[in-house]
């Protein structure tokens, strides 16, 4: 299938075709004795992901594990549908996200407030998963991939309080979710993802430092794809966070309202990102996943509740 790409080590990148776009949201399948899907994509992507798994020889009884880095709808919106397709799969998520997968009503209500009419088009509706099938992760945890291979989870808040990174013991791949930002392979751009309500600079930087300390061989971004230059990329992630926070803090000190703060930060960061000077389609993709309004709102929210930040 043209949306499935082998990455070596029995790992396959799946373009989930989020909202019909290509190249913005990836899921990954780790094949082997106990096939494991990392990230489901959105609810509307679930049939696309199922077709990809079928093409890789994973039948309805074969999928052992579904794990999500966090419960934002572009990563976990399809969990309920995928759990339905694959009745023997265990659903693995950080403990702060588990109850929302079992009962998505609050999560969907707050997503509706953020996205409004765009919610259905972008994400669809997260269906509930039987709580008995959900395994909640603490600060660390482990997923059995078969044959002695494991995927170890590492709590990595900052972007979201229910975020984990996942390290493959065989390949050294680290699934970074959104904790290291959004990477655009077409341009090599890397932009922070700092949405409300959980973003916290110090915590986010600690998670990036933890990722560095794990010594991964390769980073697998949910947005989007593999990156081999690990230390450089993680340093860049941290730097971009600092730049956005500094600029937002400045806009706040000048007393700008949200719209003007967004305009200022967007303007002052534009030169950092090739994508925003490229064609409109690339810029739109980038803006959709780590839009300046969401990033600035998240940073302002953190500054407002952190008096000495
Ligand atoms: Zn995301």
User: Are 58 and 81 spatial neighbours (Cβ–Cβ below 8 Å)?
Assistant: no
Distance from the CA of 140 to the center of ligand 1, in angstroms?
Answer: 21
Percent of the chain whose predicted confidence (pLDDT) is above 90: 90
Question: Using omega within 30 degrees of 0 as the cis cutoff, is the peptide bond preceding 197 cis?
Answer: yes
Per-chain residues with Cβ under 5 A from ion ligand 1: 74, 178
Range of the domain at 35: 4-235
For residue 286, the model assigns a pLDDT of: 77
Least confident span in 39-43, 88-92, 279-283: 279-283
Q: What are the structure tokens assigned to 155, written together?
A: 């709590």
Distance CA 243, CA 247 (A): 6
The answer to whether residue 289 scores a pLDDT higher than 80 is no
Residue by residue, DSSP assigns 93-119 as EEHHHHHHHH-THHHHHHHHHHHTTHH
In a domain, 255, yes or no: no
Beta bridge partners of 8: 11
Rg (CA), the chain: 18
Per-residue pLDDT averaged across 103-122, rounded?
Answer: 93
Closest CA to 158 of 245, 230, 258, 284: 245
Q: Give burial (CB, 10 Å; 0-12/13-18/19+) of 168.
A: buried
Per-residue pLDDT averaged across 87-113, rounded?
Answer: 97
Confidence band (pLDDT; 50, 70, 90) for 174?
very high
In a domain, 293, yes or no: no
Question: If DSSP codes are grouped into helix, strand and coil, which group holds residue 43?
Answer: coil
Least confident span in 165-179, 190-204, 227-241, 281-295: 281-295
200-214: pLDDT as tens digits: 999 999 999 999 999
Least confident span in 85-99, 111-125, 271-285: 271-285
For residue 308, the model assigns a pLDDT of: 77
The four Cα atoms 74, 98, 36, 228 give a dihedral, to 10 degrees, of 60
In a domain, 32, yes or no: yes
Distance from the CA of 36 to the center of ligand 1, in angstroms?
Answer: 19
In a domain, 295, yes or no: no
Distance from the CA of 260 to the center of ligand 1, in angstroms?
Answer: 25
For residue 207, the model assigns a pLDDT of: 98
Q: The domain spanning residue 142 has which CATH number?
A: 3.60.15.10
More confident residue, 308 or 170: 170
Distance CA 197, CA 199 (A): 6
The answer to whether residue 182 scores a pLDDT higher than 90 is yes
Distance from the CA of 147 to the center of ligand 1, in angstroms?
Answer: 31
User: Are 292 and 285 spatial neighbours (Cβ–Cβ below 8 Å)?
Assistant: no
Least confident span in 103-107, 156-160, 164-168, 186-190: 186-190
Per-residue pLDDT averaged across 101-109, rounded?
Answer: 97
299-309: pLDDT as tens digits: 999 999 998 77
CB atoms within 10 A of CB 250: 14
Per-residue pLDDT averaged across 54-61, rounded?
Answer: 98
Per-residue pLDDT averaged across 85-114, rounded?
Answer: 96
- Number of folded domains that form the chain: 1
Distance from the CA of 288 to the center of ligand 1, in angstroms?
Answer: 10
Question: Using omega within 30 degrees of 0 as the cis cutoff, is the peptide bond preceding 156 cis?
Answer: no
In a domain, 26, yes or no: yes
Q: Which helix (H) or strand (E) holds 167?
A: strand 164-168
Question: Mean pLDDT, the chain, as a whole number?
Answer: 95
């Amino acid at each position: 299938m043209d949306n499935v790409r082998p990455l070596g080590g029995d790992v396959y990148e799946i373009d989930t075709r989020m909202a019909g776009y290509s190249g913005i949201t990836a899921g990954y399948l780790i094949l082997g004795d106990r096939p494991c899907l990392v990230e489901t994509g959105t609810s509307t992507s679930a049939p696309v992901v199922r077709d990809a798994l079928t093409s890789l020889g994973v039948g309805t009884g074969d999928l052992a594990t579904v794990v999500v880095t966090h419960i934002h709808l572009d990563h976990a919106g399809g969990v309920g549908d995928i759990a339905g397709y694959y009745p023997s799969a265990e659903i693995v998520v950080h403990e702060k996200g588990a109850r929302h997968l079992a009962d998505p009503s609050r999560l969907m209500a707050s997503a509706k407030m953020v996205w409004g009419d765009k919610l259905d088009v972008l994400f669809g509706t997260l269906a509930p998963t039987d709580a008995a099938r959900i395994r909640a992760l603490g600060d660390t945890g482990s997923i059995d991939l078969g044959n002695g291979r494991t995927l170890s989870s590492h709590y990595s808040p900052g972007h979201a309080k229910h975020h984990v990174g996942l390290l493959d013991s065989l390949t050294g791949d680290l699934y970074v979710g959104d904790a290291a930002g959004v990477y655009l392979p077409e341009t090599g751009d890397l932009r922070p993802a700092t949405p409300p309500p959980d973003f916290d600079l110090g915590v986010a930087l600690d998670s990036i430092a933890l990722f560095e300390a794990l010594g991964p061989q390769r980073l697998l971004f949910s947005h989007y794809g593999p990156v081999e230059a690990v230390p450089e990329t993680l340093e860049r992630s941290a730097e971009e966070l600092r730049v956005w926070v500094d600029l937002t803090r400045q806009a706040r000190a000048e007393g700008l309202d949200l719209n003007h703060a967004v305009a200022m930060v967007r303007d002052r960061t534009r030169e950092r990102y090739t994508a925003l000077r490229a064609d409109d389609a690339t810029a739109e993709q980038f803006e959709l996943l780590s839009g300046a309004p969401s990033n600035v709102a998240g940073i302002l929210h953190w500054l407002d509740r952190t008096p000495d930040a």
